[in-house]
Amino acid sequence: MTVANQQIKGWRGVPFSEVKINDAFWRPRLETLKNVTMGVCLDQCEKTGRIANFAIAGGLTEGKFEGMYYNDSDVYKVLEGAAYSLMTDRDPKLEAEIHRIVELIEAAQESDGYLSTYYTLEAPELKWTDMEKHEMYNGGHLIEAAVAYYQATGKRRLLDVACRMADHYDTLFGPGKRHWAEGHEEIELALVKLFGVTGEDRYWKLALWLLEERGHGHGVGAIWDKEDWGPAYCQDDVPVRDIHEVKGHAVRAMYLYTAMADVVLASGDPAYMEALDRVWAHTVERNMYVTGGIGPSVHNEGFTFDYDLPNESAYCETCAAIAMAFWNHRMNLLHGHGKYADIVEKELFNGALSGISLSGDRFFYVNPLASKGEHHRVEWFHTSCCPTNLARFLPSIGQYVYAASEDGISVNQYLSSETTVKLAGGSSVTLAQTTAYPWDGRVELRVNPEQLDEFVLRLRLPGWCGSYRIYAQGESVTGEEALAENGYLVLKRQWLPGDTVVLELDMPVTAVRSREEVEANRGRIAFQRGPVVYCIEQAGNKELVYDEFAFKAAEPFVAEYAGDQLGGVTVLRGRTVDGRSCELIPYYAWDNREAGFMQVWVREAEDRRLYR
Amino acid sequence: MTVANQQIKGWRGVPFSEVKINDAFWRPRLETLKNVTMGVCLDQCEKTGRIANFAIAGGLTEGKFEGMYYNDSDVYKVLEGAAYSLMTDRDPKLEAEIHRIVELIEAAQESDGYLSTYYTLEAPELKWTDMEKHEMYNGGHLIEAAVAYYQATGKRRLLDVACRMADHYDTLFGPGKRHWAEGHEEIELALVKLFGVTGEDRYWKLALWLLEERGHGHGVGAIWDKEDWGPAYCQDDVPVRDIHEVKGHAVRAMYLYTAMADVVLASGDPAYMEALDRVWAHTVERNMYVTGGIGPSVHNEGFTFDYDLPNESAYCETCAAIAMAFWNHRMNLLHGHGKYADIVEKELFNGALSGISLSGDRFFYVNPLASKGEHHRVEWFHTSCCPTNLARFLPSIGQYVYAASEDGISVNQYLSSETTVKLAGGSSVTLAQTTAYPWDGRVELRVNPEQLDEFVLRLRLPGWCGSYRIYAQGESVTGEEALAENGYLVLKRQWLPGDTVVLELDMPVTAVRSREEVEANRGRIAFQRGPVVYCIEQAGNKELVYDEFAFKAAEPFVAEYAGDQLGGVTVLRGRTVDGRSCELIPYYAWDNREAGFMQVWVREAEDRRLYR
């Protein structure tokens, strides 16, 4: 294995714990998440035996293992999300509940550090015999929860459990020890996180070893024997440095690439960078829906062939959209390029956000781009990775907003918030961002360095944006300084406390078209405004029948902010080509009213190209 | 010939004499037109013998006919433009000059009413033997000038000349008399105008007869014998009611359709309407440049085959763009549909306006969409129809702004102005429009009926507009009322003096693409913002070489209003795909700085479809 000497200089993300969100769009969602979703997830984990499994494995109660072998992970993910919530809003009741669960987990850990209640209770003799059985996947989520809990409360108790478990892995696996290609990636990125808080090199090195194990025929287990799936299903078909194409199970693939991006920061291996760049292009340019959804097929919960993006049967697991944000956030920091933050934005306002109801207690596992009316949000799933993934993803969105670079600060996402960033030189800058994003493209930034300070302020210019204006201290910024570089406006200047920057992004409704290769969307258009992809659903369009209408791309929409609808959305009102009035709503907000059809890609009327 | 009984109910245009323009974009142009262009045109007409030809023909001076047989028309067109200028701004000096010319024209008319100085002086025996020799074309322009002069000053002198001439035509031509298919249309629309001021039915009936003469093999003259041109060159290949496709000389075709649209208002013949609708679609959807330019070929100054829209060799005569505005204005009034006013707008800000320099004393006859650097504005042309057409087109733009319908008022163009419109019911409404169009999409209207009054206010929603907001009395207008109908927002309500309506049209920069059929533009994009089509020229882009650069459609532009540049323009600053900074300016403003290349359609970088 080649590990390059040169250290890759990425940006440093500003952790969400240092980002105070006071945003009109996100703040109410975070409240709902904490007050509703968190309770729903804890209740369900309780009801379904997920929490009890730990108590039983720890010998604290009598009983039998209930549910699936990966159910531990749901508890960990809720715990992780709860810890994130606690970081920004203390809540003694929630803290007590978490503490109780931490004690159960601790009890369930075996003396050698092993922790996976399914095997402990059901088949201890079969530990480490089937790589598809999510032992390390569970372990990875434990680590993420432990790190979050430690960061939120300062308590080491769960972190110690996690370290014992990781050290146990280290005794079993690694160079010269047993082979292991975990069926569902997750442990790798978790180990890098554990390295981050403990400073122990062995954790990221174990992560690297686990990554390098893949693609060499070491896979053993039920999944590898399935004729029509094979090793590609869990990215075990080629060594990771030889990856060219995105394949297999979507969430697994994204977690793998996320880990590779994490590891490369420590290893500096250019082959990893090259593989990531290749597979990113392959994913985004050929295998991603306009919503940011990925993985079209229910069969393998994943990828099929290039440009296979059917709408009604789109699988687009919520977890995959979230994982896409994880990966793209890392890519953004690695490359300092806005196109990756564009994808994070896409998931935030579309593919991931659609997974949760406005009320916070109904979920989508599958996020199709069209439905005849049968697809609905439900309370919980047998396999409930998606609700618990939302429970940890949403409270941590603050981490995507700002980053520190060698030369200054980058604003990667637009939402009203405040943060203080430590510059490379040692001094601090407080940034206050005010915006009505995603409904309005005006972003105001107040820049407060401790004193006169020269540094670079980068503002992302979203990929959807065709034109903008930029002002500093009320004056138009001109020349090179007003132009995009790697997807950012780069304002290098001397900043004084109280300086203001205003970015006005033009935010019209635009009709977008797929690449011609996407058969499902030939003759179709979708509408987007700013980062928000729109859809048309039965509710609000009583007269329309699924797919029996068409739009002209040139037909204008009145874009109207309706504060009292769907939690406050900009509704697009327009007409179909035959003159019927209709209403489009953000895709993420669909199926929050009466049941009915929904479509993102609508038929385009023939005369679309008039005047060109 | 079938003339339907049913009268077609079109809108009534509000004449420009009733529209007071106080617009930041147009007012300075109108000043320049009057103070510079008008003088240039008069001087040139003097210098080149165009005016002297009348004096000589009238026996007031000695001399020989100079120039081309159609040169009388230039004098008439300048006269027409001068009259328009006088209508809004009196100017004794200009009025005296015009009066002098009117006397010369009067003198040049023969006793039977005949008037065309070329034949009078050069070949009186050959009158009415070659239908290509523009006798009636000249006559048509005389009529237009006479009507304008009469409307501007109340003086009948030139109108009497025009009537005598038209009556002379009437004695020679018409049912049972001689056949005549005038080679260059113009007389037909002029005769309808003459009918408009005199109320004499025989004028529009003669126009109708002249239209009906075409396409029956009556054409006689040099042009008909040219093997590669034939009767289609001057639209004499099919009867007008059988027209399906735009053919031949572009200006001639447009003048023909304009006349047909004029005549149909009186005749109500549905066959004319159908022919016009067919040929409009054929012109606009297959044979129009993005600038509104028409007629790609220098060979016939006109059309070739569908989708033949080469850029560098584009002919796009200024007169054809102006004539396109004439025709589309009529179509707008006939159909009450905004898509025609969209084309008027396109010509106003692009194809027609490009014909005149910012200084008002340099002109383009030919308006290509790309130039390696050899194409430049010049002072005058041997055949100088274009400068003189601009001299009459621009001072009359007020007529395109408002129209009265049976049920209210339509706002067809956006420019700061005031008008008073008489409603069908008899009461009057004063409208005051304030806007920074075309640089900003916000339009404010103050509606002042004499008293509480119910009527419809229509606001055009431009075809380029993807989204907008509409407010009445500061409140969002919602529901059906906020939606487009035939390209207009239709606000039907009770209006009180002082009511305000605000329309906010989103005006981002957008990358436009041609239909795939247009070979010249495959792999290319053009940029547009609001109604303004942009181009890139050497000046301001010193480092770039003609066609040796490319753009990504997704690369954003900073849209910056530069009040001190090119008479005040919004400049687009951005980057080529290889990162070089560059500047785009409105197409109409090109070749007003140092000589160099220019391109509207630029190469598109390969990765254009990312994120779809």
In chain A, residues with a C-beta closer than 8 Å to the C-beta of B572 are 467
Question: pTM for this structure?
Answer: 0.89
Give yes or no for A574 touching B (CB within 8 A): yes
Amino acid present at B54:
F
User: How many angstroms away from the CA of A186 is the closest CA of chain B?
Assistant: 26
Instruction: Give me the helices (H) in B366-502, please.
Output: 385-393
Give yes or no for B559 touching A (CB within 8 A): yes
- Please give the pLDDT value at position B45: 95
pLDDT at B303 over 60: yes
Determine, for residues A467 and B554 on separate chains, whether the beta-carbon distance falls below 8 Å. Answer: no
In chain B, residues with a C-beta closer than 8 Å to the C-beta of A471 are none
pLDDT at B370 over 90: yes
In chain B, residues with a C-beta closer than 8 Å to the C-beta of A509 are 466-467, 506
Give the tens place of pLDDT for each residue, A123-157: 999 999 999 999 999 999 999 999 999 998 899 99
Question: How far apart are alpha carbons A579 and A551 in whole angstroms?
Answer: 9
Give yes or no for A559 touching B (CB within 8 A): yes
Which residue in A469, A483, A512 is closest to B581 by CB distance? A483
Band (pLDDT 50/70/90 cuts) for residue B87 is confident
- Please give the pLDDT value at position A228: 72
In chain A, residues with a C-beta closer than 8 Å to the C-beta of B485 are 579
Give yes or no for A523 touching B (CB within 8 A): no
Burial of A598 from C-beta contacts in 10 A (0-12 / 13-18 / 19+): buried
Question: How far apart are alpha carbons A323 and A355 in whole angstroms?
Answer: 13
- Please give the pLDDT value at position A607: 55
- Please give the pLDDT value at position A8: 59
Give the tens place of pLDDT for each residue, B550-577: 998 888 999 999 999 999 999 999 999 9
Q: Of the listed B41, B45, B385, B465, which one is catalytic?
A: B385
Determine, for residues B482 and A558 on separate chains, whether the beta-carbon distance falls below 8 Å. Answer: yes
- Contact status, residue A229 vs residue A223, Cβ threshold 8 Å: yes
Q: Can you tell me the mean pLDDT for B170-199? A: 96
Active site residues of A: 301, 385
User: How many angstroms away from the CA of B7 is the closest CA of chain A?
Assistant: 26
Q: Of the listed B95, B132, B144, B301, which one is catalytic?
A: B301
Question: What percent of chain B stands above pLDDT 90?
Answer: 89
List chain A residues with pLDDT less than 70. 1-8, 607-612
Q: Is B385 a catalytic residue?
A: yes
Give yes or no for B372 touching A (CB within 8 A): no
Look up residue A587 and give its DSSP letter.
Answer: G
- Please give the pLDDT value at position A610: 42
- Please give the pLDDT value at position B609: 44
Which residue in A479, A514, A572 is closest to B612 by CB distance? A514
- Please give the pLDDT value at position B2: 34
In chain B, residues with a C-beta closer than 8 Å to the C-beta of A470 are 558
pLDDT at B610 over 50: no
User: How many angstroms away from the CA of A413 is the closest CA of chain B?
Assistant: 17
Instruction: Name which residue leads in pLDDT, B7 or A395.
Output: A395
User: Mind listing the domains of chain B with CATH numbers?
Assistant: 12-400 (1.50.10), 417-505 (2.60.40), 509-609 (no CATH)
- Please give the pLDDT value at position B268: 85
Give the tens place of pLDDT for each residue, B38-61: 999 999 999 999 999 999 999 999
Contacts of B219 by beta carbon, 8 Å cutoff, 6+ apart: B131, B181, B183, B231, B234, B236
The rounded Cα B231 to chain-centroid distance in angstroms is 25
Question: How far apart are alpha carbons A478 and A467 in whole angstroms?
Answer: 14
Q: How, if at all, do strands A550-551 and A602-604 pair?
A: parallel
Q: How, if at all, do strands A467-472 and A453-460 pair?
A: unpaired
In chain B, residues with a C-beta closer than 8 Å to the C-beta of A572 are 467
**Across chain B, which distance is largest between two alpha carbons, in Å?**
75
DSSP letters of A493-535? EEE-TTEEEEEEE---EEEE---TT-GGGTTEEEEEETTEEEE
Band (pLDDT 50/70/90 cuts) for residue B608 is very low
**Interface mutation vs chain B, best among A467, A506, A510, A527, most B CBs within 10 Å:** A467
Which residue in A482, A508, A575 is closest to B573 by CB distance? A482
In chain B, residues with a C-beta closer than 8 Å to the C-beta of A512 are 612
- Please give the pLDDT value at position A229: 79
pLDDT at B494 over 80: yes
User: How many angstroms away from the CA of A575 is the closest CA of chain B?
Assistant: 7
Give the tens place of pLDDT for each residue, A248-267: 999 999 999 999 999 998 78
Please report which helix (H) or strand (E) contains residue B599, including its range: strand B598-599
Give the tens place of pLDDT for each residue, A217-243: 999 988 888 777 789 999 999 999 999
The number of helix segments (H) and strand segments (E) in chain B equals: 16, 23
Determine, for residues B339 and A461 on separate chains, whether the beta-carbon distance falls below 8 Å. Answer: no
User: How many angstroms away from the CA of A376 is the closest CA of chain B?
Assistant: 26
DSSP-based three-state secondary structure for A323: helix
Contacts of B42 by beta carbon, 8 Å cutoff, 6+ apart: B78, B82, B97
Shortest CA distance to B387 belongs to which of B366, B408, B401?
B366
Find the helix packing angle between A157-172 and A92-108, rounded to 10°.
Answer: 30
